[in-house]
Amino acid sequence: MSKERRNGLDSEKLGRAIVDFAVGKLGEDVLLLDIRPVATFADYFVICSGASERQIQAIYEDILAKLGEMGIQPLGSEGTAASGWLLMDYGSVIVHIFLPVTRRYYNLEQLWKDAKPVVRIL
């Protein structure tokens, strides 16, 4: 899947753009994780936290809007801010936006510990 391009962006550039958007909305502990060595369904995960339901919803909406302006739409999305976890599927990049307590519970970083961290912004 690593050769996939969405409107001129390869999967790593798409992931890095999403990281930038999340940081721009004050996302916390933003991680770009290269899952290609351990998964075939996507190339990268972006994992980040927001301090409140409103903030994780704002991060979600900003990513959706900015990528939409670039002509890039998610293949799907799941979750609600009230659940503490929003997921966006951009094919080669899967975005996970968590409340801190939900992120600790699911502990994706440990679950995917064999994946390679590319960028981490605390």
Give the global pTM: 0.92
Q: How many percent of the chain have pLDDT more than 90? A: 92
Distance CA(2)–CA(87), nearest Å, equals: 20
Across the chain, mean pLDDT equals 94
Q: How confident is the model at residue 28 (pLDDT cuts 50, 70, 90)?
A: very high
Taken in order of first residue, the domains within the chain and their CATH numbers are 5-121 (3.30.460.10)
- The CA dihedral of 7, 55, 31, 28, to the nearest 10 degrees, is 140
Tell me: pLDDT of 80 over 70. Answer: yes
Angle at 73 between CA 89 and CA 86, to 5 degrees: 40
27: closest CA among 63, 2, 1? 63
10, 45, 31, 21: CA torsion to nearest 10:
60
Among the listed residues 65, 52, 86, the one whose alpha carbon sits nearest the alpha carbon of residue 17: 65
